Amino acid sequence: MSELINNKDNHMEIDSDDEDNIGLKSGGAGGGVEDNVTTNEPEEDTSLNNPDVVTKYQEAAKIVQSALVEIIAKCIPGSKIVDICRFGDELIEAKTKAIYKNKNKAGKFILKGVAFPVCISVNEFVCHCSPLETEEGFAPLAVNDSVKVDMGAHIDGYIVLAAHTFLVGVDVKDPAVAVGLISDKRAHVINAAYTAAEVATRLIKAGNTNHQVTQAMKAVAELFEVNPVSGTVMHQMKQYVIDGKKLIVLKEEPDQAKSEKCSFETGEVYAIDIAMSSGEGRPRDVGSRTTVYKRAVEKKYLLKSKSSRAFFNDVNKTFPTLPFSIRSLPDERAAKLGVRECVNHGLLTPYPVLQEKSGDYIAHIKFTVLLLPSGTLQISGLPPFTYDAMVSAGLTATTAEETPLMMNGNIARILCDQLLKDRTTSANASAANASGGNSTAAAVVIPDDLLSVLNEVKEVKVKKNKTKKGASKAVVVEAEA
């Protein structure tokens, strides 16, 4: 996940002043990335008020969406995790390389590529599995494995992230298979995560607060009888900043201070990051090699080791601000040698491989949303496979392809209604057995506060203006109730 840690002290926040002044000029080994780069160029508007910025987000989203579909297609029985991760990263690089080839107004080429390396986390593994070529500890994928794909791309530093959970080798379009999937434990965890993500999408809008979202996440988890994964944090994103100062915790911990309250504002961008578990929801680092890191741009230290300096030079040149896998560096062996000193002195923030207990089911869903004047626009993320199973079983008539990707899709309400039907049927059967007659249990209902959010449907449309040459450039956003 873009920000899931097993120890709060490991989380290195970028100061709010640094967020707006992150430069891309590489320093020497151990010198770090300069936080403030002074130029004579006019300051560019990097907010959503700039139509070019919205367009870059949308183009990055197209790449993420298409790459995610292709990566999922590669997850077949017998395939190796490292091969899929490598394929995904190379695919994103190729797709981003194919657009924005010309120089910008300042006469510079636009940087673009991977914003978060492809991670394939299987079964009880929660996140950040992006193995090295030399690692052999991860088994090939097998039928019925639960896979979490996590990834991201950027164009000119404008980041789009997505994560999706699915089962390997399971044909949800087969009605016989679909019926068995709809009400099993894995389905409840996946539906809880997707419902929470859609609810968060609706609540992250101008005027609302992060605490409202966290409270709603608790209500969704309780409804589906699952646990939010501790340590999961949703962040505001800015140009070249994947973990901005404004954040939303998925779950408040009683032994930790409550997160600082903040309000959402029009023009902001957020990564909605949801992880739910059938287990305790307290994943641990059990010793798997960490391979995903991010440059801590506010930290500086003169490295002592020659191998560390060489490695850090490569990081500064290739990944000065965004997360990366050391597998993507030119010399994997040198990277493994050099990374330790960099981490020990805070130059790199690690994304540890975390896992729950064997047999626990985990679902990971991630969207990217833009807070536009007309409403919140979801630009990444796929519908859950459980919804396709419901279509195959004849429980809903609308296919995922016919359901809009944006927040007006209302898939979450359909998932919740199915949950209530299953619960009511089960409760009635138990009540009848207990009484030896036709007794029925009290109706299972959705809490009013959560129901009001699920029923809130607002369509957000994006219309592209035409330039004089007929090319789509500026973006105008309209809303309909």
Query: Which distant-in-sequence residues (6+ apart) come within 8 Å of 470 by Cβ?
Result: none
The strand pairing partners of 364, in sequence order, are 275
CA distance 46 to 42: 12
How many CB atoms neighbour CB 68 within 10 A? Answer: 24
* Region of residue 157 (phi > 0: left; psi between -120 and 50: alpha; otherwise: beta): left
pLDDT averaged over every residue in the chain:
84
In the chain, the percentage of residues whose pLDDT exceeds 70 is: 80
Q: Looking at residue 16, what is its pLDDT? A: 36
The strand pairing partners of 233, in sequence order, are 249
Q: What does the block give as tokens for 385?
A: 């496979």
Predicted confidence (pLDDT) at residue 460 exceeds the cutoff of 90:
no
**Domain ranges within the chain, ordered by starting residue:** 8-465
Q: Determine the topology of domain 8-465 in CATH.
A: Creatine Amidinohydrolase (3.90.230)
Q: Among 25-39, 62-76, 379-393, which is the least confidently predicted range?
A: 25-39
pLDDT band at residue 474 under the 50/70/90 scheme: very low
Q: Looking at residue 409, what is its pLDDT? A: 53
Predicted confidence (pLDDT) at residue 414 exceeds the cutoff of 60:
yes
CA distance 137 to 401: 37
Q: By three-state DSSP, how is residue 183 classified?
A: coil
Residue type, 276: M
Residue type, 214: T
Q: Name the residue among 455, 109, 50 with its Cα closest to residue 269.
A: 50
Q: Name the residue among 376, 428, 365, 430 with its Cα closest to residue 220.
A: 365
CA distance 349 to 297: 10
Structural element, H or E, at residue 147:
strand 146-155
Q: Looking at residue 300, what is its pLDDT? A: 92
Task: Report phi then psi at 56, rounded to 5.
Answer: -65, -40
Q: Looking at residue 452, what is its pLDDT? A: 86
Specify whether the CB–CB gap between 258 and 264 falls below 8 A. Answer: no
Q: Among 208-212, 236-240, 407-411, 445-449, which is the least confidently predicted range?
A: 407-411
pLDDT band at residue 283 under the 50/70/90 scheme: very high
Which of 84-88, 181-185, 400-404, 422-426 holds the top average pLDDT? 84-88
Query: Which distant-in-sequence residues (6+ apart) come within 8 Å of 38 by Cβ?
Result: none
Q: Looking at residue 20, what is its pLDDT? A: 47
Condensed to tens digits (0 to 9), the pLDDT of residues 25-47 reads: 333 333 334 344 444 556 788 99
pLDDT band at residue 51 under the 50/70/90 scheme: very high
